[in-house]
Amino acid sequence: MSIRKEGRRAKKTVKDIEVRGERVLVRVDFNVPLDPETGEISDDTRIRAVLPTIKYLLDNRAKLILCSHFGRPQGKVVEEMRLSPVAKQLSELIGLPVGIAKDCIGPEVEEAVSRLKEGDVLLLENLRFHPEEEKNDPGFAQALARLADVYVNDAFGTAHRSHASTVGIASYLPAVAGFLMEKEIDIMGKALDDPVRPVAALIGGAKISDKIGVLEHLMERVDSLLIAGGMGSTFLKALKYGVGESSVEENKLGLAQWLVEKAAEKGVHLLLPADVVVAEKFDSRARSKTVPITGVPAGWYVMDIGPRTIELFEAKLRKSKTIIWNGPVGVFEFLKFAKGTEALAHLLAGLDATTIIGGGSTAEAVEELDLVDKMTHVSTGGGASLRFLEGRTLPGVAALQDKEA
């Protein structure tokens, strides 16, 4: 499998370079959640996602150096944001000791790297303990580059960021994609550029403003567009339906109306909720009921799609051969209002179709339902997958070497 085009150029992957005996610095995304009570990792999906790249490099006798950010330390050392829990979990997953450096740059780290033997693994300390990381500081990028002979980016979740460890370092080392990066770009790229039709996009989440680019880009590529979640209320209000006290982007009503009209012009079948579950308060225990969209009571909140909408959405999705889903269709954080999201997730898991789940909240929902293995692809990047679906070039991918070079 070869990586698809990003910025019209195919990128080299880890298989295109010699790694035996080389010091290979791999940018990974180990920004995993911790249980606040135990301090243990509560979800190691992001660690498992890069195991194919790690195992390939170890099998090929590379000297492996891993680097990642963790949390938002704002350029300062925060004890609770050290990467030691990650080193422990990774060691258990690969069955090998994983060393952890006291920092990510500097003489002590360079000394630790010099002691690495073929097949050894060293995890650098949190990149974001240094403010220069997020500023894409050339000096910081050079300090990272001094640690290695080759650079591999396998952190799709940060590929939309122009940071020193995702973009700057590529100016100083041969830079290629890891297998996770390759998979993300290949699968989502094919869904956008060369999909099996019919193609449906299911778009939810809170705000239209977060997904204007996605909606516009997909409008040119899909056969059906299904819209729900918080942003669905803005569309409904633009079409003169009452949505009670639901959050609405008043300054985006014109845009919502325009998108409805554009869908009609393009021949894209646009579906909005036909009925909704409403609650007296925005609360997990609030009194609730199901009403048609013409009957949302004043003062109530739209919290989920109703059974009729689930039926309509399911009927359209069953006829689709490629489905892109980004954003929950209700307040899935509240179990009482997660039925729509759960129903559609279970439907997609059983379809004979290419099913692509955007990162962020949508991926969280699918993971909670233990349906990840039932989908064609669940993206590891929230912001990155959004930018990709907008058709934008990701800086962290653009910085990698072109295959033809």
- How far is the C-alpha of 338 from the C-alpha of 102, rounded, in Å? 43
Q: What is the CA radius of gyration of the chain?
A: 23
Taking the chain, what is the end-to-end CA distance rounded to the nearest angstrom? 18
Among 46, 63, 183, 221, the active-site one is: 46
Which residue in this structure is represented by tokens 């070497």?
Answer: 401
The residue annotated as part of the active site, out of 178, 204, 359, 360, is 360
Decide if 207 is catalytic.
yes
Known catalytic residue at 244: no
Q: Which helix (H) or strand (E) holds 26?
A: strand 23-27
- Residue 5 among the catalytic residues: no
- The owner of tokens 């509240």 is 334
Pick the catalytic residue: 71, 75, 106, 383? Answer: 383
Does residue 157 have an active-site annotation? no
How far is residue 24's CA from residue 39's CA, in Å, rounded to a whole number? 30
- Catalytic residue, chosen from 5, 207, 262, 281, is 207
Write out 62-130 in H/E/C secondary structure: CEEEEECCCCCCCCCCCHHHCCHHHHHHHHHHHCCCCEECCCCCCHHHHHHHHCCCCCCEEECCCHHHC
The Cα–Cα gap between 391 and 207 comes to: 19
- Give the CA distances from residue 294 to residues 226, 227, 280, 331, 355, in Å, rounded to whole numbers and listed in that order: 19, 17, 17, 21, 32
Longest Cα pair distance anywhere in the chain, in angstroms? Answer: 70
Active site amino acids: 46, 207, 360, 383
